[in-house]
A and B are shown apart, each in its own frame.
Chain A
């Protein structure tokens, strides 16, 4: 564990020193919200390698996002996958984020937001890891703090998560722990452009995120690292490519390692 913590601290220091970065993180949300009246359409694809076989699980998570006002944004999301046979609809969720603290300076900010997610899922439960985003029925709530330093962005997210019985008779196994504390540390780095001239320039961001979960009931935990590359076209369309890799785990996880491909498009002044 100490080895991984040291690795992460060094990684963050290295990136922060050279960096030009963004906060549109791939495996977490920043404390900032979408612009008021804007609508975002997001399609997230996961291709995860099952631990117990050579099988690849494919997940599709379409999301519709809305900036209600400068403080509040809302996501609605659907969960589809082929992890239990045929590709099918497994559940849906809502996510709310409220920005409650903000200090802005030119090219800098520090912001904090509270968020909550409630989801349903019909899939069979066959892992100890709790993931209300895509696997479990349940809820999560937490806070996120994001610091933008010129073009460097650092973010810390932590949330409490509680799972319950999945639908279609897939009850939560009584032997498993039902709740956890999750945390994410994120850092972003803008590679291109070196200087902004217009909105048509393609932005390239490099992100590294550390994702962890601790289940206080049984002391089990895991920690993953997730590097990702992000392209932003026309300052409006974003493509994320990421790979999530387990660094440490003492809990049963079905498919912890795998790729992410996300496409997101933002429509301004819509509603």
Chain B
């Protein structure tokens, strides 16, 4: 019995922190009209991992709830907006995190995506955390440049690990740069 308890305890301790990307909120730019807004809404609705979208047409703001257990590719969300003919002005992701230590300028896997934390203090994340994406085409260029000075890593420019060659630009190498 004692051995079983020790085995369970070891299993629990060695398990990675459980995390799930729950939702995303984005502001789209380049549009005013409801027909344009609907084009984005329809493109987002066609993304497989999207469960529900709430729209504020006046503010060009979209809150996206993801399906549980679905593989979430955040670039699919950005590509849906650009495919509809517009741009992403800002995007925040809410992730449910169970005890995840983060540090400045370091990588962490959350809910199947690799996140590179930029301009943050070392801390333990617990509960719902809102991450602001800093990658190219997720925010205005001035904002992107502002955060560039906080990291010297090449992946901030490429968005990929080991991205010396085009073949390295694979989904599993994608790194999303975020701040709190």
Contact = CB atoms under 8 A, between A and B. Distances in A.
Contacts, number: 99
A32 B85 contact: yes
Interface in B19-69: 27-35, 37-39, 41-43, 45-46, 55, 57-58, 60
Given A105-B140, A197-B57, A148 B32 contact: yes
Given A104-B86, A199-B37, A235-B38, A36 B43 contact: yes
A3 interface: no
Contact of B35 (A37, A67, A198, A266): A266
Interface in A229-266: 232, 235-236, 238, 266
Interface residues of A, number: 39
A83 interface: no
A70 B33 contact: no
A22 B87 contact: no
Contacts of B84: 35-36, 70
A235 B89 contact: no
Given A34-B85, A196-B57, A232 B32 contact: no
Given A69-B83, A195-B58, A236-B38, 7 more contacts: A35-B43, A70-B82, A104-B30, A104-B86, A106-B60, A148-B30, A203-B35
A33 interface: yes
A109 B36 CA distance: 13
A119 to B, nearest CB: 26
A88 interface: no
Interface of A: 22-24, 32-38, 67, 69-70, 99, 102, 104-109, 148, 150-151, 190, 195-199, 201, 203, 232, 235-236, 238, 266, 268-269
A109 B34 contact: no
B31 to A, nearest CB: 7
B141 to A, nearest CB: 10
Contacts of A107: 29, 31-32, 60
A196 B39 contact: no
Contact of A106 (B27, B35, B39, B42): B27
A151 B82 CA distance: 20
Contacts of B60: 106-107
Contacts of A34: 85
A37 B83 contact: yes
**Residue in B27, B35, B43 with the greatest tally of chain A CB atoms within 10 Å:** B35
B39 A35 contact: yes
Contact of B39 (A22, A99, A150, A268): A268
A151 B32 CA distance: 6
Nearest to B57: A196
Given A22-B33, A105-B29, A198 B57 contact: yes
30 contacts: A23-B33, A32-B85, A34-B85, A35-B43, A35-B85, A36-B43, A36-B85, A70-B82, A102-B30, A107-B31, A107-B32, A107-B60, A108-B30, A148-B32, A151-B33, A196-B34, A197-B57, A199-B37, A199-B38, A199-B41, A199-B55, A199-B57, A232-B33, A235-B37, A236-B38, A238-B35, A266-B39, A268-B39, A268-B42, A269-B46
B43 A106 contact: no
B84 to A, nearest CB: 4
Contacts of A106: 27-29, 60, 89
Contacts of A22: 32-33
A269 B33 contact: no
Interface string B68-107: 0000000000000011111101000000000000000000
A23 B33 CA distance: 9
Contacts of B85: 32-36, 67, 70, 99
